[in-house]
Amino acid sequence: MQKRNKFRTAVITGVGMYVPEKVLDNKYFESIIDTNDEWIRARTGIKERRILEEGGTSILATKAIEDLLESTNTDPLDIDAIIVATVTPDMLFPATACLVQDNIGAKNAWGYDLSAACSGFIFALQSGTSLIESGQCEKVVVVGADKMSSIIDYTDRNTCILFGDGASAVLLEPSNDLDIGIQNSILRTDGSGRDVLRMKAGGSLHPASHETIDNREHFVYQDGKSVFKAAVKGMADVAVEIMEKSGLTGEDIAYLVPHQANLRIIDATARRMGINPERVTINIEKYGNTTAATIPLCLTEYYRDGKFKKGDNIILSAFGGGFTWGAVHLVWGIE
């Protein structure tokens, strides 16, 4: 295996999650747009998604981290850094990480937001890993959180059926056993994909105005077909590449944990990797695409379900707006 020169690894030592109570099922969409349950399930794999009715993304992230802290018995004062992966920050500034830091009473932590759309969690995981490997931090919280319902146009049937709200967090800590924890990652960006998946207004280029609102430019815009094609290729290519980098075959992998955007993209990635479908984590039917939260939500649910064992090779893989994409190879470190 091609390993970086390091004196310690970053290990996921705990997980936590939060999804809001309110459920929007496919039947609901039949009542607001021209669609049907069968089409949505067949084309995407989604049956329902969760919606946060009150508050912003910081609420989702805070509750997920509270679950993480409680389940790991961690004192918030011991947290050194908080990285919030999101494209739906409560506001442009202050960063959602600041709001979360205050909410959980992590008085000794610094933090920042990271914007990489659906790849946000694996980009943030790599950032947190670097903080641990370099010796700068001992406990880093990485949370993927998105209130996608705040930027979805519920009149656009191509897009609105896909997304939901949620958050999930992991705790990263160092280990001197270099054979567990984050082993390798490959991360990519290609800004030439900027036009097919984006929110057109609300930034410094087109600040909010009557015109941007009239033109519905504060919502997710996507050319679904182009994104689909790029995602199938990008996610599968990088997943195969990381297997080569880590010297793994499909049989060595305990679980593929893919970003949950569309079941057909996930199936195509697993096929290219030569992985048995039972070895792929799936919860898209319950939550839809929660953007930065999909991968840690899968990690949390499958771990709590007793599926991961210490020493398991796990591949995370994502593709999203930007374009951004990548894969991470980790060896599960919790008993």
Applying CB under 6 A, which part among 35-43, 60-68, 171-179, 183-191 lies near ligand COA?
Answer: 35-43
Residue pair 173/139 in contact (Cβ under 8 Å)? The answer is yes
222 binds ligand COA (CB under 6 A): yes
Which of 224, 241, 272, 283 touches ligand COA (CB under 6 A)? 224
Kindly give the residue spans of alpha helices, DSSP state H, lying in 136-223.
157-160, 210-214
325 binds ligand COA (CB under 6 A): no
Residues numbered 229-248 forming contacts with ligand COA, rule: CB under 6 A? 231
- Closest C-alpha among 208, 141, 132, 214 to residue 174: 132
Question: Which of 118, 137, 160, 298 is labelled catalytic?
Answer: 118
DSSP 196: T
CA 267 to CA 47: how far, in whole Å?
17
313 binds ligand COA (CB under 6 A): no
Active site residue 98: no
Question: Which of 26, 184, 262, 289 is labelled catalytic?
Answer: 289
Binding mask 264-303 for ligand COA (x = CB under 6 A): -------------------------x--------------
43 binds ligand COA (CB under 6 A): yes
Which of 99, 145, 261, 327 touches ligand COA (CB under 6 A)? 261
Applying CB under 6 A, which part among 85-93, 98-106, 224-232, 301-309 lies near ligand COA?
Answer: 224-232
104 binds ligand COA (CB under 6 A): no
Active site residue 289: yes
Residue pair 15/197 in contact (Cβ under 8 Å)? The answer is no
319 binds ligand COA (CB under 6 A): yes
Applying CB under 6 A, which part among 32-40, 121-129, 277-285, 305-313 lies near ligand COA?
Answer: 32-40
Residues numbered 112-171 forming contacts with ligand COA, rule: CB under 6 A? 118, 157-158, 161
> Number of residues in contact with ligand COA, rule: CB under 6 A?
21
Which of 30, 35, 130, 189 touches ligand COA (CB under 6 A)? 35
Q: How far is the CB of 252 from ligand COA (least distance, A)?
A: 27
* E strand residue ranges, the chain: 9-18, 22-25, 48-51, 81-85, 110-114, 140-147, 165-175, 181-189, 197-199, 220-222, 255-258, 313-320, 324-331
Q: Which residues lie across from 278 on neighbouring strands?
A: none
Q: Cβ-count burial of 6 within 10 angstroms (0-12 exposed, 13-18 middle, 19+ buried)? A: middle
Residue nearest to ligand COA according to CB distances in the complex: 224
Peptide bond into 94 cis (omega under 30): yes
Residue pair 233/206 in contact (Cβ under 8 Å)? The answer is no
Q: Which two tokens stand for residue 80?
A: 């050194």
CA 125 to CA 117: how far, in whole Å?
14
Question: Which of 26, 137, 160, 259 is labelled catalytic?
Answer: 259
Long-range contacts of range 223-230, CB-CB < 8 Å, 24 or more positions apart?
Answer: 223/195, 223/196, 223/197, 224/158, 224/159, 226/196, 227/196, 227/197, 228/262, 228/264, 228/265, 230/193, 230/196, 230/319, 230/323
Tell me whether residue 8 or residue 43 sits nearer to ligand COA (CB atom). 43
Residues numbered 179-208 forming contacts with ligand COA, rule: CB under 6 A? 197
The catalytic site residues sit at 118, 259, 289
Chain positions contacting ligand COA, by CB under 6 A: 35, 39-40, 43-44, 118, 157-158, 161, 197, 222, 224-225, 227-228, 231, 261-262, 289, 319-320
